[in-house]
Amino acid sequence: MWISKREKIILIFILIFSFFVKAQDYNYPFDESSRDPFTPLISKSGQILIPRKIEAKNLVLNGIIYSPQNSIVVINGEILKEKDKVGEYTIFKIEEKKVILKKKDKKIILKLEEE
């Protein structure tokens, strides 16, 4: 049984076409916890945008540079200012001896340890 050239081409076309149809049926696994690969990891100002899971008990206030206009705080070795994020917490207010962090409706206070 000899297959003509035309039949070979048709057979190859059918095999290739069926492969593409099967590939289109594949559902890629995705859940809401997966990171969107097209969102940037770092902002234009250089701040890391990846949300990190940090528990309140693991936050360490290393230092505060306080001024009424522009205060800076060091938490877990990272330099931050008001409205910056550390993990899931937002720096709500910086005072002379403490920092107030906010996560949704929950507020936590980190106090500067006296030496």
CA distances from 14 to 19, 69, 78, 79 (A): 9, 71, 59, 61
* pLDDT for residue 62: 93
- Give the mean pLDDT of 74-81: 91
* pLDDT for residue 45: 82
pTM of the complete model: 0.56
Specify the CATH number of the domain 56-111: 2.30.30.830
* pLDDT for residue 24: 60
